[in-house]
Amino acid sequence: MLKRALAIITLLIIGYWLAQGLAGVPFGEDKMLVGQYYLDNVKQQTGAVNAVTAVVVNYRGFDTLGEVTVLFIASTGVGALLWRRKKERTAKTEGSIVLTTGTRLLFPFVMLFGAYIFIHGHLTPGGGFPGGATIATAFLLLYLAFITYEIPHRGFEVTEGLAGMSYVAVGLIGLAIGGYFLFDWIWQTWQFGWDNVGRLLSGGFIPIIYTIIGIKVGTELSGIIDNMLKEEVSE
Amino acid sequence: MISVYYFGAIALILIGLYAILVKKNLLKILIGLSIMETGVNLLLISIGYVSGKSAPILSEGIGPSQAVDPIPQALVLTAIVIGVATTAMALSVAILIYEKYGTLNVEEIRRLRG
C-alpha cells in the first residue's frame, strides 16, 4: 500500500513536470526548422510524393540501415535466447473450419496487401516496415490455423541475409556513381521517372529499398513468431 | 493552457509508468512499457502537428506550404520499429524466466535467486 502511494506521488511529480515543460510548447503552430526545406525540395531531389518516406529512405537512409540492423540483431537475439537442441510445435487444438478456410482464402491477399504497402511507399502512407509486418501477420495466420505448419527456415534465413546485403549493395552502387553512400543514382544520375512524379515508376530508389526492407522485415518477424511459438520436447 | 493531445500523451506515459512501478507480473510490466512507448510516440507526433494542414503527402491541392512537419513522423516510424524489436527481446527473456522459475512474479524471482 505504501509502495502504491509512493508510486502515485512520483507519478504526480513527473506528470506536473512534463505538463510544465509542454505548457510552453504551443499546439498546432508552425515550428518547422528543417522540415520546410524537405517539403520544398522533396519532389525535385528525391521524386517521392510522400515526404515521410523520402526523409526515412533518402535524407536519413543511413539511419534506416541502422534501424534494419537493430531489427536483425533483435531477431537473432530472440533466436539465440530461445535456442534449443530439439524444438517442435506443441499446439494441440486444430484451428476451427472457419479459421482454416479463411486462412486458405485470405493468405494470398494478405501477402498481396503487404506487397502493395511496400511497393507504394513513396506515394501513399506506409512503406517497408508496415508492409513487412503485414506479411508477417499472414504467416502468423498460417501458424494459428494449422498446428503442424512451419515456415521454410533455410529459405527464410537466406532471403533475410540477401535482403540485408542488397541494401548495402544499393548504397555502395551510389558510392561508386555519385560519390557518397546511399546516393540516389536512379533519380539523380539516370533521371528515371523524371516526368511522372506521383506515379508508380518514379521515386528513384525508394521503391527498391522499401521492397528490400519489406522482404527483410517480413522474414525477420516471421522468424520471431516461429521462435516464440516453439517449445522444447523431450525424447 | 495545455493542449488535450499533450494531456493524453502525458496520461498514457503516466499510466505506463504506474504499471512499471507497481505491477508484479512481468507481462504486465511489459504491457506498461508498451503503453508508455505509445504515449511518447503520440507526444512526438502531436508536437509536429500544424493546425489546418494535411499529411505530408504532396498531391493536387497540397503544396509544400500546406503540409505538416514530416520529420517527427519519420522519427516515430523508426521508434515504433525499434520498440517492436525490444518488446520481442523482452518477451523471449520472459519466456526463459518462466521456464526456469515457473513464475512471472518479479518478487518471487528475486527471492529464488537468494
Write out pLDDT tens, residues A195-207.
Answer: 888 888 888 888 9
**Among A215, A224, A212, which Cα is nearest to A74's?**
A224
Q: What percentage of chain B has pLDDT greater than the value 90?
A: 48
Tell me the C-alpha distance between A151 and A225, whole Å.
Answer: 10
Q: Which of B4, B5, B7, B10 to mutate to probe the A interface, most A CBs <10 Å?
A: B10
A13 shares contact with chain B (CB less than 8 Å): no
Helix, strand and coil content of chain B, in percent to the nearest 5, comes to 75, 5, 20
Rg (CA), chain A: 23
Rounded to the nearest angstrom, the gap between the alpha carbon of residue A50 and the centroid of all alpha carbons in its chain is: 17
> CA of A225: which chain B residue's CA is closest?
B88
A45 shares contact with chain B (CB less than 8 Å): no
> CA of B66: which chain A residue's CA is closest?
A39
Angle at A225 between CA B20 and CA A111, to 5 degrees: 120
Nine cell digits for residue A208: 527498391
First and final C-alpha spacing in chain A: 48
- Residue B29: per-residue pLDDT: 94
**Among A107, A119, A79, which Cα is nearest to A212's?**
A119
Mean pLDDT by groups of 10 residues along chain A of 235 residues? 90 92 85 87 87 89 91 91 82 87 95 93 88 94 89 90 92 89 85 81 87 93 89 73
Tell me the C-alpha distance between A39 and A204, whole Å.
Answer: 17
Angle at A123 between CA A118 and CA A125, to 5 degrees: 65
CA distance A36 to chain B (A): 7
- Residue B113: per-residue pLDDT: 64
CA distance B18 to chain A (A): 7
Number of other residues whose CB lies within 10 A of the CB of residue B90: 18
* Residue B55 predicted with pLDDT over 90: no
Write out pLDDT tens, residues A145-203.
Answer: 988 888 888 899 999 999 999 999 999 998 998 888 888 888 888 888 778 888 888 88
**Per-residue three-class SS string for A73-122:** HHHHHHHHHCCCCCEEECCCCCCCHHHHHHHHHHHHHHHHHHHHHHHCCC
- Listed in sequence order, the residues at least 6 apart from A115 whose beta carbon sits closer than 8 Å to its beta carbon are A131, A135, A214
> CA of A5: which chain B residue's CA is closest?
B22
Q: Which of A27, A34, A63, A118 to mutate to probe the B interface, most B CBs <10 Å?
A: A27
How much is the mean pLDDT over chain B? Answer: 89
Q: Do B69 and A32 touch (CB under 8 A)?
A: yes
- Residue A3: per-residue pLDDT: 86
Q: Are the C-beta atoms of residues A169 and A28 closer than 8 Å to each other? A: no
A2 shares contact with chain B (CB less than 8 Å): no
Pair type for strands A87-89 and A230-232: antiparallel
E strand or H helix that includes residue A24: none
Strand pairing partners for B59? Answer: B62
CA distance A50 to chain B (A): 4
CA distance A174 to chain B (A): 22
Scan residues 195-234 of A and list those with Cβ closer than 8 Å to B. 198, 217, 221, 224, 227-228
Helices A97-119/A128-145 angle, 10° precision: 170
- Residue A5: per-residue pLDDT: 92
> What sign has the CA pseudo-torsion A12, A13, A16, A21?
negative
- Listed in sequence order, the residues at least 6 apart from A229 whose beta carbon sits closer than 8 Å to its beta carbon are A89, A91, A143
Q: CA dihedral in degrees (A188, A191, A195, A200; nearest 10)?
A: -90
